[in-house]
Every structure is written in C-alpha cells, then in structure tokens.
Amino acid sequence: MACEGCKLCPRECGITREEFQGLCRCKNELEIASYNLHFGEEPPISGINGSGAIFFTGCNMSCVYCQNYPISQLKNAYRKISPIELADIMLSLQEKKAHNINLVTPSHFAHLICEAIDISKTKGLSIPIIYNTSSYDKSETIKYLKNYIDIYIADLKYSDNNLAKQLSGIENYFDVATNAILAMYNTKGLLKIKNGIAEQGVIVRHLILPGYLNNTKNVLKWIDDNIPSVHLSLMSQYFPAYKAFNYKNINRKLNFQEYNYVLSLLDTMQNIDGFIQDF
C-alpha cells in the first residue's frame, strides 16, 4: 500500500499525497483529532474500562449528514503525528486499561496505521485492534490487514447506490462495501467474546435514516442472506447535522413509528444476532 498516485481506497483519486490532499482531504501524514477511553460503543467493545478510541481526521466519503463533520469534513481541530507517535498513543491507551484499540475512520491512513501497529507490537501492545470503518474499503486492503486487525466494526449505510450518491457522494457504495464486509467476515469470522469482551470478528452497523426505511429493509435482507449469524448493531441515534437540514427526509430525527417498523423487519430475519440501540 502506498500513496504515490494514491489508489489506497476505492475512489482511486490518483493524487500524490506527498504533495497534495487526496479526496479524503488528507496528505500522506497521519492526522488525529483526539484519543481517549470511549464508553459509547457496543457492550463487548466498551466493556467496563472503555475502548481506546483514536479519531482520525478526514474521510473518503462525503456524507451530508455526517455527525462527526467537524473532524471528518471540516477538519477543524487536528494534529499531525508520526507512526511512532501513533504507536505510543496505542500503548498509552493500553496502560489506561482500554479493552482494545479502536481506529475510527482509518481507511485513508491504512498504510501508515500498519506501520504504527508493527512498532507498537514490538513495544508490547497486546490488546485487540479494531478497524471502525464506513466499509468503503478495497477488499484487497482488508485482505492485507488480516494480520493487523482483530475486529471490524463495519458500517453498511446503503443498499441503494443512487441514495449513496445523493447523500454521500459515492456512486458504487453498496457494491464496494458488501465486498469489503465479506472480506472482513472471511478473514475474521463471527464475533468471539470472552468474559464479556470482544476478541475477534465482525460487527456490522447500520444507522437507520428517517424516510428511507426501504433502504434499511434491503440492508437487513442482504446481511441476513449473506453473512449468517453475524452481529448486527442497529442504530437509532440519527439526528440532522452538517448539511442534512437541506435534504428532504433526513432533516429530522427518526420517529418512533419508523423505529418500530424496523424492529418488526428484524423479527423476520433468521440469521442476525447483535445489538439494538434504545430509541
């Protein structure tokens, strides 16, 4: 993996990130917004001690409703770090008793993150490493990460490529994301939990968008048909942010009737386990 004429992610912008920003809004240098213990993830991820979350800036998508837009889209606050510094951050989170290292929006820095992981492991990093992603990743990248990543927290945002284009600026999201998730599932398998804490495997997240329940229906159907017994994390936390107020349907929160409808859909699925977020 390299960034000279960058083809690291499926957008393959071809930009030399040593000199210029790619479509991810980043050059070939690690940028983080923050890191700390995080207690808001799924129960086997946050556990009691918290997940060691590291939030990277930039993103290879452009979601108009992004709830982390100051970091991902506007890059309001960040600092540049080296792979050695990232390795030290991982070790510091382990020293704070984090259950894992949670790499949030890592896709556009995957090559540099691998370098940091190599360094951290020579210094004693032993807790699981999580790749927390939009799933707009190359399946080749996921295969390359086999010996670096233990757990995938993978979004499946859309079943409709037209909707993905409208709301996230990506034309082929469903095709790319499902291939990536299958690669994750094939390399790491179902979620393995020991003493209440995840050690390996895949969690697929889906954020329910108001007004687009057919999108959610088809996402759930694909999961049920293609990755038996996978852990789903169904999220009801949507609220309008960033540019969402300018878009019909997503300029409001999800309502109770919509959420109940999705739960009724979930009851018809045969092969889905996981987590349901309180409304």
Q: Where are the domains of the chain?
A: 34-276
Q: Is 151 helix (H, G, I), strand (E, B) or coil?
A: strand
Write down the pLDDT at residue 2. 55
pLDDT, position 278: 86
Question: pLDDT digit string (tens) for 67-77?
Answer: 999 999 999 88
Residue with tokens 């556990």: 47
Q: What confidence category does residue 3 fall into, taking pLDDT thresholds of 50, 70 and 90?
A: low
- Cβ(28)–Cβ(49) under 8 Å? no
Residue 33's closest CA among 67, 66, 65, 81? 81
Q: What b/e sequence results for 116-155 when a residue is b if at least 16 CB atoms lie within 10 Å of its CB, and e otherwise?
A: bbebbeeeebebbbbbbbbbbbbbebbebbeebbbbbbbb
CA distance 88 to 101: 12
Residue 182: φ, ψ to 5°: -65, -40
Per residue in 145-160, pLDDT tens? 999 999 999 999 999 9
Please tell me the distance from the alpha carbon of residue 248 to that of residue 18, in angstroms, as a whole number.
39
Asked whether residue 168 carries a pLDDT value surpassing 90, the answer given is yes
pTM score of the predicted model: 0.96
Q: Which CATH number fits domain 34-276: 3.20.20.70, 3.40.50.12280, 3.40.720.10, 3.10.105.10?
A: 3.20.20.70
- Could you give phi then psi for residue 226, rounded to 5 degrees? -115, -25
pLDDT at 1 (0 to 100): 59
Which of 52-66, 156-170, 258-272 has the weakest average pLDDT? 258-272
Report the Cα 261 to chain-centroid distance in Å.
25
Helix axes 256-267, 213-226, angle to 10 degrees: 20
- Please give the pLDDT value at position 279: 85
